Amino acid sequence: MNIGKSRMDYLDLGKGICMILVVWIHCTKNITNPFENLLQSTLMPFYFFLSGMFFKEGDNFKTFLLNKINKLIVPFVFFFIIGVLLELIMVQYEYMFKGIDYSVSNLRSYIFDIPFGEKVTFNLTLWFLLCLFEINILFYFMLKLFKKNIFILAASSLLFSFIGYKIGNPHILFIDSAFSVAFFFFIGYFIKNYTSLFKIENKNTNNILAVVSVIILGIISLIAKPFYIGTNEYHNYFFPTFILSTASIISVLLICKKINKISFINYIGNYSIITLGIHMLVIRVFTSLIRDYISIIWIADVLSFIINIICCIIITKFLVKYMPAFVAQKNLITIDFTNKTIKQTEAPKEI
C-alpha cells in the first residue's frame, strides 16, 4: 500500500505545481510573465493528460456515467452556486461602499451564459469541469469502438481534436474544447497502458530523464505559442501546439517523479479540484480589497496570490471534512445498477 502511494506522490506533486501556477496566472495579470507561453501550453493540457492516464471504463456505462456525475458535475454545480451567491454579495458590497452599480440584467446574463465560456465573468475556470466530463464520455465510446486497434483509437482522437479546433465558435457547453483535447486524453491513456515510461525505477536513468526534461522545457519556453483551451483558441498553431504541449507535460511529470514529494504542494494537488473551484472566488473577494489599500499593482498581485493559496488550503480542509460529497471526495448520488449494495462511498480522484 505505501509503495503504491509513494509511486503516486509525484502525480499529486505535478497537479499541485500546475494548480499553483494556474492561481498565479489568474492573480498576477498585471505582472509580465516571460514563461506565459510555456505555462499556457502545459497547465490545462496536463490535467486532461492525467485524466487519460487514469481513465477506467467501469462495469457498464450507467456506473461510469454516475461516477463522472459525482466527480465532475456535482462539484461544478456546487462551485457554480457558491459563485453566484458570492457575486450577489460582492455586488451589494461594491454598491454600498464604492458606489458601483450593477444592473440585475447583467448578473442574470452571467448566470445563464454559462454555456458560452467567454461570457462568464465569475468563477470562469468551471469550464474545465464541463469539458472534462464531456471528453470522458466521448472517450468511453471511442474506447468501446476502437480498443482492439490502438492505431485507429489514436487516429480518431487526433481527428476529434482537429474537428474541435475547426469548430471554434460558438462554445456551446465547451463541446468544441472537449473535442480539441481528445488527443491529450488519448496520449495519457496510451502512455499509462502501453509504455513503461513512468515505471522506470533506475535512479541514474531517472536523473538523466529529469535533466533532459529541464532542457526540453527551456527550449519549449522559447518557441511555444500561446493557446487557450477554454475558448478553443490555437492561433493557427494546432499541430505544433499538440507536439510541444505533450513534450512539456511529459517533461514536467519526469521532473516531478525525481522530486516525488513536497508536502503542501502535494496536498493542493491531491485536492486540486477544490482549488480549481474556489480560487477565482477568493480573487473576487480579496483582489478588490487589497487594491483599495495597496496602490503598487505588482505588490497587490503577489499579495493576492499568497492570500489565495493560504485561503485555498484552509477552505480545502473545511470542505474535505464537512462537505466531501460536494467536492468529489465521496459519492453524493448512489444508485444500484447491479442489484447489489454499493459499499464504496469515496469517489476516485479526477483532477
Q: List C-alpha distances in Å: 170 to 133, 164, 166, 231.
A: 19, 11, 11, 9
Going 132 to 134 to 135 to 140, the CA torsion angle's sign is positive
Confidence of residue 41 (pLDDT cuts 50, 70, 90): confident
Distance separating alpha carbons of residues 73 and 70, to the nearest angstrom: 6
Where does residue 207 rank: exposed (0-12), middle (13-18), buried (19+ CB within 10 A)? exposed
Distance separating alpha carbons of residues 287 and 96, to the nearest angstrom: 18
Q: For 306-319, how does the pLDDT look when each residue is reduced to its tens digit (9 = 90+)?
A: 999 999 999 999 99
Confidence of residue 104 (pLDDT cuts 50, 70, 90): low
Give the mean model confidence (pLDDT) for residues 266-281. 96
pLDDT at 1: 37
Bridge partners of 228, per DSSP, are: 233
The pTM for the full model equals: 0.89
Grid coordinates given for 204: 541514474
One-letter amino acid for residue 102 of the chain: Y
Question: What is the number of residues in the chain?
Answer: 351
Give the mean model confidence (pLDDT) for residues 238-246. 83
Quick check: 199 and 4 in contact, CB under 8 A?
no
Residue 327: Cβ within 10 Å count = 23
User: For the chain, what percent of residues have pLDDT higher than 90?
Assistant: 49
pLDDT at 85: 87
Closest CA to 133 of 273, 254, 293, 227: 273
One-letter amino acid for residue 66 of the chain: L
Which residue in this structure is represented by grid cell 496536463?
A: 46
Grid coordinates given for 283: 480573487
pLDDT at 348: 59
Give the mean model confidence (pLDDT) for residues 186-212. 89
Give the mean model confidence (pLDDT) for residues 99-103. 64
What does R_g of the chain's alpha carbons equal in angstroms?
20
pLDDT at 2: 43
Going 118 to 160 to 187 to 178, the CA torsion angle's sign is positive
Q: For 132-157, how does the pLDDT look when each residue is reduced to its tens digit (9 = 90+)?
A: 999 999 999 999 999 889 999 999 99
Grid coordinates given for 174: 465547451
Distance separating alpha carbons of residues 92 and 99, to the nearest angstrom: 10
Give the mean model confidence (pLDDT) for residues 24-38. 86
Q: DSSP assignment, residue 59?
A: S
pLDDT at 244: 87
For residue 351, the SS3 value is coil
For residue 236, the SS3 value is coil
Confidence of residue 330 (pLDDT cuts 50, 70, 90): very high
Distance separating alpha carbons of residues 281 and 292, to the nearest angstrom: 18
